[in-house]
Chain A
């Protein structure tokens, strides 16, 4: 038994020495695998990183497992509304607030409007909100204060700015300054902390005003665009969504079989939606990596055929000394296995480097795990062994007598 494993180890040793005796062959065979594995692992890593970042930001916005959104107007997810959307009201919210699982509701009016200061003018997201908006979205105020109940009650012409908006319109010194929205001047009373971006949605570009003010002074309408509902921890969101939907249908007189004039969106749907675009890209790039690996497999096969041809007298010698066809098979499979090992580890390391560089120079950051090493090696091994099979078979079937003469 001990002799058997010793024999096996030494057979592999023979193969390894033959492999490293020609570093150029090793390089050419491993190169394709390195590129393919690096592409696959880094793409996977960046995809995962993007997803993790989105989930993190959503959780940071208190949009974790116990919150959901109601959007005015029916239709597809984040697409444009395909029904009337002027039906969602604060009265609806008062009814929903009485539900047992509802902790808080934050209704909003939202619009992209021309906003200007002496320094800048551009279209910006303007949000009419309740004071609860701050806590329900876990916003911290960097300077000044948030909207207060007093502001709401008196329809105060005050606003709180996102970090980026404050910088762009006032160069950072925003408190006390005046901002014009739709011809109305608002005094800046607070600036929010920095939050980042979710996909293309820039969290730090926003102007928040009291909802009562936005109803009368900006949008000139009572109905709201959306509301965020925070549920009791541990609530089954699917059930909660159903209850809310039933109430809204009844209040909006939507019969059975009619299309809803609202949408209810949970955080997991947002994550899925935001990662869908990157998923298509990921799939495409994975296909490219896969092709790279197949191409490198074919390259390996051809170089292996050339090696078997070049080394056929040495193969015949091994046979004369007692190597069985099976031993020769193992020898050449071990050579492609060695190539795969080098290619897999090399690809993993190159992938790691790519992810580090991209994470350093761009806002995307990859999740690169030591565990990637195993699928990397596995994929390289499968490729190497699969494409090494035919050359190894040819080697094992060489006629020793003819070649040694």
Chain B
């Protein structure tokens, strides 16, 4: 993971540079070895961390985690007793007559599984109304965040109290703790899936549809969300950061973002405009109003570049500008390696400074 702010990220086995290195340097024997270590590490600590459905930070995810553990424990008990009985039956010589045998089959093979499966089914469908998105009237009063899944990044638009768009960001979703939030999910290209494992279940993002999902964060922290539906070459990089903030801090942040001024560094901004970045990118408070790519207002305070592909340092930003599709295959941003290196560095510094 690339975002240093992530809660519990010490547990995350894939540090970005290793990961990128592995992709661009091509696999060698050592990287397979390394992958094996990563797998072992991730198995050991996969129960906690910023992207674990088993380390819930909201009520929906908690229900899902409890359901999971119920199933695992129940399944383990049944498996153990079946294997135990199997051993018992094979070790000793028991003479069962046909009647006894059919009674065992009837009770252990029919009645018991029917009751257990019936109970599990009831439990799971009983949970569903709690973990599904809310509907209708109840949703109209919720704070709404519009999210568009685009190849290969997330457009995030916040609404103000009147319901009109207040400001836009990308690849980072901030939510107030203790408040239910409604996500309206759309896609202009292909099917994606919006999933924040620590907060709840996933919801497909389908072109031509507006899908709704409500989630609530209960623990402040920085988590990781992902695209959970294969959507193209950089699908695996289509992640985003989720920041659950105390309500006061969240209000401060929305106010700051709604009145963001990106015109603080005249020279950097001039280069940004001169090289045509503004055709695709918007920065509040400047002439840059492009809408094809991610809104870059406040980009410097985000944790990653290229949606989780690189850490957000000036060098990584420059690297991304030079050749986005080397870092994210298929990214819809042209490469700018023909720009003078000083200009690239200058723009990267400017973007890093947008906090």
Decide if A and B are genuine partners.
Answer: no
